[in-house]
């Protein structure tokens, strides 16, 4: 295995604005191990890995990171965007193996010095970096190399491509939403924005959970209807054909209401109308509220609406909607969740729908595609040109 070069390329955020105007491709010193200083999210010595990144996937959250945070608040010397990556381990650092274990929370994998080493040089891995690591350290996925705490990585299954295994965040979010919605065998569930990164994962996971006696209905535009059906949806609602989606849902599903709704984009008008098509006691599980633009005032309004949905009493007598709002928060998934989702990929229960694959130098164009809000599945970036789209 080749040694990492002293310098390598990374996309960095150079100001506040939309990706094409604030992203620069620069040459910077390649990260090295051991890490110094230790970051606030992982303050004790534990296993770290240096990864030669093969693929990264893009998420709308990175666009918010660029448009919302003023440059003076970015403390890291290089601020690389994106949380999702796959690649090959090129270096491992593990603290004294006789030291004490840390993070001994019941049911959680311990990570401290006494924990067994999980990775070796040459291993294929996939990782999702939480915002608590990415924001203060500036470590992101759109770079040729990244040094990360091993706790954020999972071995890449031999039968899953590097490209697909770089799409963990959408799969983790869908997984958490399905669990929090309480969906079970035989249930009827509505998925809104079923053709997006999270939606395509949610449809497949729900098909698996509700089984052949259950019903999965996906909302997407007509051009994506065959794709969403191929993932397991029984019916499609083409939202482009209806002047008001909430009114259409109320009319069509009043007599056969859903047991849960998974809203993977966040539509307040649909939530408010949900008592007409969601059973009493059913959960309206959402990723948040979709702001009309990526800019600050719209974002603040969306967060405020979301918080009101969470805090306001549910009772219609007190001005509530009458159905429980479930706010999915995928900021810090556990290792067990990561392993569960990668296991679903390995067993073929879920597959990644690729909207498009872009070369590393085309990251700005890839963000344009994502920002249009009509990507069908995941927007992927091939960081290492030597790793083909199907390479496992």
Residue 86, strand partner residues: 55, 126
Q: Does 353 bind ligand NAP (CB under 6 A)?
A: no
Out of 79, 165, 259, 264, the only residue in the binding site for ligand NAP (CB under 6 A) is 264
CB burial readout 8-29, b (16+ within 10 A) else e: bbbbbbbebebbeebbeeeebe
Cα separation, 79 vs 56, whole angstroms: 15
Task: Map the footprint of ligand NAP across residues 220-239, applying CB under 6 A.
Answer: 220-221, 224, 239
375 binds ligand NAP (CB under 6 A): yes
CB of 290 to ligand NAP, least distance (A): 6
Task: Write down the least CB distance from residue 385 to ligand NAP, Å.
Answer: 25
To ligand NAP, the closest distance from the beta carbon of 239 in angstroms equals: 4
Query: CB neighbours (10 Å) of residue 232?
Result: 16
328 binds ligand NAP (CB under 6 A): yes
Distances in whole angstroms, Cα of residue 125 to Cα of each of 72, 153, 159, 339, 381: 33, 6, 12, 12, 16
Per-residue x/- mask for ligand NAP, residues 272 to 291, rule CB under 6 A?
Answer: ---------------xx-x-
CA 49 to CA 221: how far, in whole Å?
42
Any residues with CB less than 8 A from the CB of 361 and at least 6 apart, and which? 25
In angstroms, what is the minimal distance from the CB of 332 to ligand NAP?
Answer: 10
Smallest gap from Cβ 65 to ligand NAP, in A, equals 10
Written as six digits, the tokens of 129 are 């970096």
Q: Label residue 320 exposed, middle or buried (CB < 10 Å: 0-12, 13-18, 19+).
A: middle
How near is the Cβ of 174 to ligand NAP at its closest, in Å? 8
Q: How far is the CB of 137 from ligand NAP (least distance, A)?
A: 20
- Distance between CA 245 and CA 315 in Å, rounded? 24
Is residue 330 a contact point for ligand NAP (CB under 6 A)? yes
Residue 126 exposed, middle or buried by CB count within 10 Å (0-12, 13-18, 19+): buried
Judged by CB under 6 A, does residue 370 bind ligand NAP? yes
Q: Does 193 bind ligand NAP (CB under 6 A)?
A: yes
**Nearest Cα to Cα of residue 170 among 265, 80, 260, 79:** 265
- Applying CB under 6 A, among 148, 376, 380, 387 the residue interacting with ligand NAP is 376
333 is a site residue for ligand NAP (CB under 6 A): no
Ranked by CB distance to ligand NAP, the top (closest) residue is 196
Quick check: 143 binds ligand NAP (CB under 6 A)?
no
Query: Could you give the CA distance from residue 166 to residue 141 in angstroms, rounded to a whole number?
Result: 9
- β-sheet with 188-192: strand ranges across: 235-238, 215-220, 188-192, 258-263, 278-286, 324-327
Part of the chain binding ligand NAP (CB under 6 A), chosen from 30-38, 58-66, 208-216, 315-323? 58-66
The interface region with ligand NAP, picked from 96-104, 253-261, 316-324, 370-378 by CB under 6 A, is 370-378
Binding site for ligand NAP (CB under 6 A): 59-61, 169-170, 173, 192-193, 195-199, 219-221, 224, 239, 264-265, 287-288, 290, 328-330, 370, 373-376
């Amino acid at each position: 295995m080749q040694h990492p070069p002293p310098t390598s390329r990374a996309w960095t955020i150079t100001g506040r604005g939309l990706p094409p105007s604030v992203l620069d491709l620069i040459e910077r010193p390649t990260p090295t191990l051991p890490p110094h200083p230790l970051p606030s999210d992982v303050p004790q010595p534990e296993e770290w890995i240096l990864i030669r990144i093969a693929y990264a996937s893009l998420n709308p959250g990175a666009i918010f990171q660029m448009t919302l945070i003023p440059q003076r608040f970015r403390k890291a010397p290089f601020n690389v965007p994106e949380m999702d990556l796959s690649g090959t381990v090129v270096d491992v650092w593990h603290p004294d193996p006789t030291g004490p274990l840390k993070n001994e929370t019941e049911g959680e994998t311990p990570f401290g010095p006494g924990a067994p080493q999980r990775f070796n040089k040459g291993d294929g891995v996939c990782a999702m970096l939480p915002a608590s690591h990415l924001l203060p350290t500036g470590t992101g996925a759109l770079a040729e190399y990244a040094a990360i705490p091993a706790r954020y990585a999972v071995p890449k299954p031999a039968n899953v491509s590097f490209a697909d295994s770089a799409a963990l965040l959408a799969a983790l979010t869908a997984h958490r939403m399905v669990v929090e919605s309480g969906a079970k065998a035989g249930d009827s569930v509505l998925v809104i924005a079923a053709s997006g990164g999270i939606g395509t994962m949610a449809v497949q996971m729900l098909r698996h959970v509700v089984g052949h006696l259950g019903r999965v209905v996906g909302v997407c535009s007509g051009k994506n209807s065959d794709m969403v059906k191929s993932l397991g949806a029984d019916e499609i609602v083409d939202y482009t054909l209806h002047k008001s989606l909430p009114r259409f849902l109320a009319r069509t599903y009043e007599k056969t209401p859903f047991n849960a709704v998974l809203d993977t984009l966040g539509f307040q008008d649909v939530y408010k109308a949900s008592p007409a098509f969601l059973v009493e006691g059913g959960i309206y599980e959402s990723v948040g509220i979709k702001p009309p633009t990526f800019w600050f005032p719209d974002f603040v309004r969306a967060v405020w609406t979301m918080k009101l949905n969470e805090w306001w009493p549910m009772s219609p007598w007190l001005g509530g909607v009458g159905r429980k709002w479930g706010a999915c928060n995928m900021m810090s998934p556990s290792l067990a969740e990561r392993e569960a989702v990668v296991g679903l990929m390995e067993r073929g229960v879920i597959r990644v729908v690729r909207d498009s694959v872009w070369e590393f130098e085309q990251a700005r164009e890839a963000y344009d595609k994502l920002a249009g809000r009509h990507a069908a599945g995941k927007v992927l970036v091939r960081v290492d040109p030597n790793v083909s789209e199907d390479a496992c």
